[in-house]
Chain A
Amino acid sequence: MSDSSQILVFDRSQVRRQRDRAARGFAAHRPLFDESGEALAERLRDVKRAFGTALDLGAHTGGMASRLTTHGVPFVVAADMSIGMARQASALAVVADEEGLPFAAESFDLIVSNLSLHWVNDLPGALAQIRQSLRPGGLFLAALLGGATLYELRDCLMEAEINVTGGVSPRLAPTIELQTASRLLLRAGFHLPVADQERVIMEYADTKSLLLDLRGMGETNAHAQRPKHFTRRRILRGAARLYEARYSGGEGGIKATFDMLFLHGWKNDRPQQGAISSGTHN
């Protein structure tokens, strides 16, 4: 992901539609979010300070917001692009886009984002806005998908498409590498930035179950240049055959890799020099 590019990689309206569609049945597709959510909560428990106001950014149905309330934060806002998702949150809900945050400067002591920021086109811009919304001394904590996430599916879809059509079109979202995420965190002016990665392997009965789960999570392709026609059956069938032959799981099923990048950074107590100006929307 290039951080200076003006090209829109993701169709944000499509991200929103996918989340709207996934909203009703999301509870059945939460394991990955619960996994990273628990990891975020664990990291939070290691932080020796109390937070008065927090934002769950890209909240989906507000799972992380609930964890923040359990953690003892008295004022928690859950923001998601999809009203279908946001209305299920038990916290105060707002429908908002990470690319245009509707929060005043220095509104929160803590901003947490659980598996949402990998759909943002302008991650440096989003990080700058996040930092601006934090109070001095505030903490930003996020998990996002990156690295080799879904490399098996990518590999099989690409090969199956070449076999059928002789060419390749973008079918899966481009992913961000840990080093890039780490650099962006620093460039956005976060203090004591830390980025690390955890790999989660999920097992599915077959390729169809994996694709249904991705759809249920609202994580299917929102690539702006994705093919507008439906993926041809032959390609999918071919990809499924390759997948099941190459990446079999433990008990006759298949495995799928998810690399979770964890970002952690503070906003300095005192004004900082060299931080990127965040007033890019004026």
Chain B
Amino acid sequence: MAGLYIHVPFCERRCIYCDFYFVTTVRSHAPFVAALQAEIAHYGSEYGQREPLKTIYFGGGTPSRLSAPDLESILNTVATHFDTSAVEEVTLELNPDDASITYLRALRAMGVNRLSIGIQSFFEDDLTFMNRSHSQVQARGVVDAARTAGFDNFSIDLIFGLPDQPPEYWGANLERAVGMEVPHISTYSLTVEPRTVLANQVQRGLVSELPDETVSERYLFTMEYLEDRGYEHYEISSFSRPGARSVHNTAYWRHENYIGLGPAAHSFWWTGLPAQRWANVRNLRTYEALVQDGQMPLDFRERLLLDDLANEHIMLSLRTSDGIDMDHLEQRYGVDLLDEKLDDIARLENGGLLEPVTARTLKLTRKGRTVCDSVVQRLVL
């Protein structure tokens, strides 16, 4: 079973922190949709019959910038070229300002059964700071609208650690999300990525990042608050009510196969060694031109051997509450981690960063999650 990711590179405007690929120019979406459909056909002929799809995910950018007819025709093309009989999750990333009831109903009708809503904050000044395209009112109304349109499975994104954000805002954001019984919450600490507006502001001294201590405290508070209220912290940035985990994202963390389409989209395919990862070019016009010309719009392709895959698995599985299963690591990746890293594991356990789930499974503690990358660094080979 494979995942299909579709990158929609359109945004109404640029959020100051975003380093995903998108364009904000107002233009016709037709050339993109046409190119995407050509790419779907191409991959469908190559991969479509190998594994049936389990999930489809529209990410971005802002997929909700596409009209319902455009999205429907894309889904139809997917159904033509891939086996979609077993698809259990079709997610679309949605901005609150695109969430009209009509649009939401159309999405539901064409088979989208999960929304990932970019709320980020329920406070106007936060939204202004981030240069989001939606308002506080839209942020507060979108969940009801989604439910009214028939969505019971959805996630909202919330960002914490904004500079100058009053400390009580974050608690209030979580409280509101929990109060609305949102089934899934993704929480991100604001990250200054290179070559973003935010990075520029930081560099020029207009914005100062919060100290690590403060961000770490807010993250720990988030874990405690949401877990106390019945959410499962099943991945570093992901909290869900029972049964509401993201099936598509979970596949990334489990080394399941996925095909990414659209500019800057990433793919992974592992049936025999070497496994392959590849990505499309990060430029819409180049992407369209290459696809229309019958060429692969490739940015890079890399081949991974078992060592690389083992390290990836350690890195990815440690981010999840399932943790690292030593038996699985040994069987699928040929690595005996207890043998290789016994001292490090003991030190990390004693230091309260790692804990056993079972005798042969380890996961990060809450404290461990705040320094996840360093722990991973210690455990990779």
Q: Do A and B bind each other?
A: no
